Structures are given as structure tokens and as C-alpha cells.
Structure 1
Amino acid sequence: MSLAQAAVLTCFKSTAIVPVPKLSSPTMPERPPPSLNEPWRKISWGDKLKDLQYVQKYQPEHSNIKSLRILLYGPVGAGKSSFINSVSNILRGRMSIPAAASATTSDKSFTTRYETHKIRKGKGQPKTFYPFVFNDIMGLEEGSDAGVSAEDIKLVMKGHVREGHKFNPVSPLSDRDRGYNPDPAPDDKVHVLVCVISANSAETKHSVLEKISNIRETAADLGIPQMGLITNIDAACGETEKDVKNVYKSKHLKKKMTDFSSAVGIPVNCIFPVKNYSHEIDINNDVDSLILSALRRMIDFGDDYIENMP
């Protein structure tokens, strides 16, 4: 063996084989779960009877008021008419449509007139109705010449708008118009004001929020209690779409409620998420529980206001 061959052999024997480390794939950060472990607000699911009986037995004690008046207002397409229909479904135990609602998406209000919606009790003769009514009005739209004006809603709250008045976005109601009620009775006035928005809608425009703020200031001056409704919770959240009982576990809906509260100034404990009846053809107890929870508070807040009326 030559000296060169010996040197090469010695080199191979002394060289250590170093293992190549395996390259680990970068770990993706885990997404936080979309739901809370525990609901942040309690609902007695499966036990709607208590709230239902409370609503059914309610009667205003003020001698001059036969019906507590609930005014629903908010952006176009928020689900105001659908909420009235949903309440009627629950109290009548079947599908009903006292308030005409549109199933199409539009930036223009489907409701144009001032309408009072009563809900009939049973099928007895003569007709009797629940001692609370809903008023459905034209929706709020972006711009000063579109949708119902804040000034018209102020007149509604004071009872100055006659039944059937057609709102004119360009020309608010004046005391010279036929639709003006110069001498409102206590029954004509609004006893609780409810702002309705959709959880599935885009961010509310600044001009609409200004109108809401303007309306809220007048309601506060009049002492009218105020609430908020967030509709379409199933369309806005996959977890709630699977099961409506996940509503108070949904982080997304909780943020919607807190954002709504910050934007319009209604406290979170006065805001209620609901699912209106839309595609169903039969009554659903879980849907009813959420709606009755909100309706009971409307009655409570409105009744407190009535008690303090002169």
C-alpha cells in the first residue's frame, strides 16, 4: 500500500458521521375557540312558560291607559316587523303575520306608514287583545332626505302622529298636516322605546348613528325607558346557527352587543339578542325563550314609566 492510499484510508476511519437534524415544520398558532365555556347571561331554556304566563296576565294599572305602547325603530332591514310577527306567533301559538315584512334585501324601508299592531287573544267573541301594542315605522336611512326623520320619531313618542300617516323623508310632519294629532291621549304616547339592529348587517353608518343619538336624547328628556334588540343572531354566528342556545356563549355576538352599546349608549343589560321567525313553519321553544325574555323586559320598563305618569 502506498503512502497516499494509507493516508486516504486513515482519513475515512477518523471522520465521524454527523447525523443531519430533521427540520421541524413551523407550528401554526392555535385559534381561540369561538365560544365561551360558560354563558355570560342565564336563560331558562326549555321553561318558557313562566315568561309566557307573565306576559299573558299583564294589565296596566294606570286608569287612562288601556294598552302599553312599544315603539320599534332602527335602520332599514333590522327586523322590526319580523319581531312583531314573532311575538304574535308565540302568543297565538301559530304562525301569523300582523306586520307586513319583506324577505328581500334593500336599502329602502318596506314600512312607510305609522301603524299600530295589536295581538288578538284566542278566538273568542267579542275580539279581545293583549294590553300592549307595537308601533312599526319607516326605517332610518343614511342622509338627511332618506328614511324616517328623527323629528318624526320625536312626534311619534309624544303621541302627535295619527294612525296611518305616511312618512315623507323630505318633509317631516308639521302641525298643519292631516297626519298630526294636536291633542294626544296618554294611550297615544310611547311608553318604551326599542332600537333594533341586525347582527348580520354591515357597520351602521355615522349619519344613522347621529339620528339614533338625537332620538335617544328626546326620549331621555321625556323620561321614556329605552332598550335595544339585536336580531338575526343565527345568520351572524355559526355557533348560534347550529343551536340558538349558544347565543350567550358566542364571543362574536357578545362583541356585537358591547359594540352596539358603545355606539348608541344603551347599557348592555338593556340589550337583548333575538332570533325572529323567518323560515320556520312551527313554533320553536328556544326561539320563544329569547323573544319572551326581551318582551317581558319591555313590559316591565314600560309599566314602570306608566306608573309615574300624571
Structure 2
Amino acid sequence: MVGVLRNFELNDPDVGHLRCLLHGPVGAGKSSFINSVNNVFQGRITSGALVAAASGTSFTKTYKTHYIKNGNARLPFAFNDVMGLEAQENGMQPKDLINALKGHLPEGYKLFHSIISSTGIPQVVVMTMPDKACVLVDSDVKRIYTSKAIKEKMQTCSNELGVPMNCMLPVKNYHEEEMLDDDMDIRILNAMTQIMNFANDYIWDLQQHA
């Protein structure tokens, strides 16, 4: 699966990179997911996206692009990390979220309060921390495939957000681990493959209606 993504070809080479905008609640594991993906491709624990201890407020304060290395080159996809969604006026502004989705925010842009608006851009839900939702997964991450508790969480999330079940991607991020784990890597790679395929399909569809 790593080889597939290392050799991933864009439907429109002029796009340069498929950009994944990560948004969600504070402490959901957005920055940890970026690091987890980078870990898999680097074959080691990395910390390119800084992660804060649980504090209730967002650690990410600026709009930043995180590229994934492939040797000395970049893979054709990147992440944009934004502030967590907060109940207080500390998160991201609606206009900022829309501009980020359109790729109009400059690097280093300071982020503020937000709500979420739907767009035609593909959306998936990366469900982090499955080990907190199921004791079986906590003891063996492979149980993520068969856990009834995880399946119920996926269905609930799908119903509430209006996102299809095949777009619900449970993943255990690297957080406290000191070494890589093959079972964790498989879920991370599966999620990335789904995300990249959906994004590439979207680019192809735009071309057909240009």
C-alpha cells in the first residue's frame, strides 16, 4: 500500500498537490494524524506537526502546509492543519474555512473562530482514538475491523454528519508509541488511499465540467 501512494499519479498533473484540509474538535488528533502518516512513509517516529497536551484549547494557531517526504522529494499530496473547532470565539472564522478549502489562505495565516459550511469538495471522517471507544481495540488494534462498538460509533457519526459509511475511516494515531506498528500503519495507509482516491476523482470530475 505504501508503494501505491509513493507512485500515486494525479488526474491533473498541473494541480501539483492534492491538499487535505483537516478540521474538527480540539484534541481530536488532527496534528497527530499528520505525524502518523509521515511516520509510515519515513519508517520512523516524526514530529513535523506539533501536538499539544490536552488543554481544551487549540494548539494550532496558524494555517500551515505539511508535505510528506518521498526520499528527497515530496509526494503529490499535502495536509493543511487548522485550529480546532471550539465553542468559544477562539477557533476559526467561517470565511477562513471557506478560503482554506479554496486554497486562498496564505501560509502562516492567523486563524480564528469557525463554523462549518458544506461544499462540493469530498469529505471523509478520520475517526481517531478508537482505542478510547473500545477496550478490545485498546488491547489489539486489529480488532478495529470487527469491533461492534466501533461499528456503532461509525454509524452514529455517519447519520449525524451525513457522510457515507465508506467515508468513515477509523485510525489509531501514533501518540505515545516509540516504534512503528504494522497494524496501525495498515489503517493509516488505508485511510490515506481512500482520501487520495476521492480527491483525485473530484479533480477528474472538475475537468469533465470545465
TM-score by shorter chain over 0.5: yes
Query: Which of structure 1's runs of 4+ aligned residues deviate more than 2 A?
Result: none
> Which one of the candidate residues 134, 145, 150 is aligned to 1:253?
150
Structure having the higher Rg: 1
Deviations along 1:126-152, one digit per CA (max 9) or x if unpaired, are x41111100000010114x23112331
Q: Is the 8 A contact 1:118 1:134 kept in 2?
A: yes
Matched with 2:177 is 280
Question: Alignment identity in percent?
Answer: 42
Separation of aligned partners in 2, 1:62 and 1:274: 29
Matched with 2:49 is 99
Separation of aligned partners in 1, 2:108 and 2:188: 27
Q: Is the 8 A contact 1:140 1:149 kept in 2?
A: no
1:283 CA displacement: 1.2
1:106 CA displacement: 1.7
Matched with 2:96 is 152
Root mean square deviation, CA, Å: 1.4
Separation of aligned partners in 2, 1:61 and 1:263: 32
Higher helix share: 2
Matched with 1:196 is none
Letter in 1 for 2:111: F
Is the partner of 2:74 in helix, strand or coil? coil
Q: Number of residues paired by the alignment?
A: 207
Is the partner of 2:156 in helix, strand or coil? helix
Mean alpha-carbon deviation: is it higher for 160-169 or for 268-277?
A: 160-169
Matched with 1:117 is 66
Q: Is the 8 A contact 1:228 1:270 kept in 2?
A: yes
Separation of aligned partners in 2, 1:269 and 1:150: 27
1:251 CA displacement: 1.6
1:290 CA displacement: 0.6
Separation of aligned partners in 1, 2:126 and 2:35: 15
Separation of aligned partners in 1, 2:112 and 2:146: 42
Superposition TM-score, scaled by structure 2 size? 0.94
Does 1:81 find its partner at 2:31? yes
Superposition TM-score, scaled by structure 1 size? 0.64
Separation of aligned partners in 2, 1:228 and 1:153: 17
Matched with 2:203 is 306
Letter in 1 for 2:85: L
Show structure 2 runs of 5+ residues with no match. none
Matched with 1:44 is none
Is the partner of 1:98 in helix, strand or coil? coil
Letter in 1 for 2:100: V
Deviations along 1:263-298, one digit per CA (max 9) or x if unpaired, are 111111110100001111111100001111110001
Matched with 1:230 is 127
Q: Is the 8 A contact 1:237 1:252 kept in 2?
A: yes
Is the partner of 1:288 in helix, strand or coil? helix
1:236 CA displacement: 2.2
Separation of aligned partners in 1, 2:76 and 2:122: 18
Is the partner of 1:74 in helix, strand or coil? coil
Letter in 2 for 1:167: L
Separation of aligned partners in 1, 2:7 and 2:173: 23
Is the partner of 1:139 in helix, strand or coil? coil
Deviations along 1:50-99, one digit per CA (max 9) or x if unpaired, are x2111111021314211111111101000000000000000011111111
- Structure 1 segment 155-234 matched on structure 2, within 5 A: 155-169=99-113, 211-212=115-116, 215=117, 217=118, 219=119, 223-234=120-131
Mean alpha-carbon deviation: is it higher for 292-301 or for 53-62?
A: 53-62
Is the partner of 1:167 in helix, strand or coil? coil
1:235 CA displacement: 2.3
Separation of aligned partners in 2, 1:53 and 1:168: 38
Separation of aligned partners in 2, 1:159 and 1:71: 9
Separation of aligned partners in 2, 1:63 and 1:268: 30
